[in-house]
Structure formats: C-alpha cells, structure tokens
Chains A and B, each alone.
Chain A
Amino acid sequence: MLEQVKDWDDDFYETFKPIAMGFVNEAEKCLQCGKCTGQCPAAAVTPSYNPRKIIRDLVYGNVKRVLSSVELWQCFFCSGCYSVCPMDINFPFFVFMFRLAAMNEGYGWEDVKQLEGYAEKSYLKDGITVSTFERNPFVMDNIGDISKIRVEAGLPPERTVSPRGIAEINMISDLSGMTAFMKQIGGVELLDCTTCTDEQAKRCKTKPMPSKVGKIKTHHRYYNYGEPGGKKNAEAR
C-alpha cells in the first residue's frame, strides 16, 4: 500500500500547537541535524528509534505513522535530546503528549499496564510512589536492607505518609481523573506466549504481541521507523 498525499496533514502542527497549552513548541524550527538521535541512549540500543524522524513526521503531519509506532514508546525521558538541541526543542514533551494521543487511538496500553501495580498497590493506598515490593538487587547485595539502615538512622523502617496526606493524594487523584484512568488500566488484560496462536507466534519475531482487552481495544503497534533492534539483532534472535 502506497502512501498518498492525504496521509500528510500539513496543517496539523500549526493547528495543534495552540490546543496543546504550550507543551508542544518550536518543532517548526527543527534543522533535522540529528544531534538528538546521535546522543540518545535509547537509539543506541534500539536503532529504529529516531527522534529526528518523529519530529519530521509531526511537523509534516504524518500522524498515523507516529501514533501507531513502537518507537514512540522507547523514549525514557532522560531529556538528553533537549539538552543538545541547538533550537531548544523539548522533545520529551512531544513524546508525553503523543503517547496520550496514541492511547486515545488504542495503542500502547500494554506499556501503561505496568504502572498499575505502582498506582494501586502503593500510591493510592500508602501514598508512596517508590514501591516497597521492589528492591534494587545491587543495593541489597552491596549495602544491605535499607530498612535496617533507616532504623539505625532513627527513621521508621518504611517511608510513611500521614493519613491526612493519603486523603489529599486520593482527593487530587479523583479530581484529576487519575483514579478513573487507573481503573481503565485495570480493565486491560494482556495475552502472553502461552495463549498465542501459531500465526501470532510467527509475527512475534518482528512485531510485539497483540493485546486485546477488556473495554479498551488495544492495537498492534508497528516498527514504522526501521528494523527492530537493527537487522543483525533481529536475525540473532
């Protein structure tokens, strides 16, 4: 299937900018120099990820390609691209905004599902964002259990938030719609390799597993910007 002129909505960026409340700015100044990609740690391990190409597609309006891509979900917000950009384009903000847009289109819910544990087990219940059920093995091996160190320092073994603080967190979460969002994520169930068909297993080599689920329809995402992990790596798998 060939791309057509209609697949490039050239007004998109200009009309989107005022709606985006200043989160998405100055991409029209992009020189396409590729400094962002050159220094990107995510691009170093997943060569198909290319911030330069994503910005190009957004400015020229190929929204379909950006929103349906796996690459949109490979950024981990180190902001290295922002720090080296000669035109001061804040690319992580773009990623943040377009992930929301991708989720609105039904992509990427499987990645967000991973946050459910943090939100329900820790944040809303105890008011703590760093989960107590997770421990860094490096710290455990080299320093030991943090709770013992905390007790030695005269602190309670776990971080605690006052009941009033937890009530406030819950209210803010309800007001901002985060509680409703977390419930939505709770409706997402993921397929795993034990339940997939032969056809899905074949596709799994080049594409992520499809996930289908609850009330939210989750679509396949595609490697729209190149071979996943480079051709050599793909074959080695």
Chain B
Amino acid sequence: MADNFMEEYGKETSRDVSMRTKKYFSDLFSLEMPLGRMMKMMPGMLKFMMHGKDTREDLFKFMPQMMPMMKEAITGKKEG
C-alpha cells in the first residue's frame, strides 16, 4: 500500500492529473446536449408529466423552448 500521495500516483505527473481534471469539468459544464444526456433527462420529465393535469400543461408550455435542444440531441446538428 502506498505511504504517501507521490507513491499513490506513481509515474503519473500533475500534468496528467490536471488534464483529467480539466476534461472532467469541461464535460460537466458543457452546454452541448448529446443524445445520451437527453435520454437521462427523459424519466424525470415523464414522471412530472404523469403527475397531473396541471404539471402536464406546464411542461407543454415549456416545449417550444425545449424543441431546439431536443432536435440538436436527436440529429446531432446545432441550429442557427
């Protein structure tokens, strides 16, 4: 078992770790909407839609704003 953090990381340098960290945050804060991300959101929206009539109406009001995002997710092309 490693005795300190230097041994724990072994040959990996801070540059390697920082590249990984930066990649993690750029994915986390990315505004792009790939299909996988969209699919993860679907169950939440469905649950909300199934909750009642008023929630369904609310969600449909929001639909026009969501359509470009959904199109982008499905076609993979950015509009505008």
Contact = CB atoms under 8 A, between A and B. Distances in A.
A175 B49 CA distance: 14
A16 to B, nearest CB: 6
Contacts of A90: none
Given A101-B24, A167-B47, A177-B40, A8 B14 contact: yes
A163 B52 CA distance: 10
Interface in B2-30: 2, 4-9, 12-15, 17-18, 20-22, 24-26, 28-29
B7 to A, nearest CB: 6
Interface string A145-179: 00000000000000000011001101111110101
B61 to A, nearest CB: 14
A114 interface: no
Interface residues of A, number: 46
A105 B12 CA distance: 12
B60 interface: no
A95 interface: no
Main SS class of interface, B: helix
Contacts of B13: 4, 6-7, 9, 64
B17 A67 contact: yes
Interface string A55-72: 000000111110111000
Contacts of B48: 167-168, 170-171
B63 to A, nearest CB: 14
Given A170-B47, A175-B44, A6 B28 contact: no
B57 to A, nearest CB: 12
Interface string A1-33: 101101111001001100111000000000000
Name which of B24, B44, B48 has the most chain A CB atoms within 10 A of its CB: B44
Interface residues of B, number: 33
Nearest to B54: A164
B20 to A, nearest CB: 7
Identify the 6 closest CB pairs spanning chains A and B, nearest first.
Answer: A174-B44, A171-B48, A6-B13, A68-B5, A167-B51, A1-B6
17 contacts: A1-B6, A16-B18, A61-B18, A69-B5, A100-B24, A100-B28, A101-B21, A104-B24, A163-B51, A167-B48, A168-B48, A170-B44, A171-B44, A171-B47, A199-B1, A219-B8, A220-B8
Interface of B: 1-2, 4-9, 12-15, 17-18, 20-22, 24-26, 28-29, 40-41, 43-45, 47-48, 51-52, 54-55
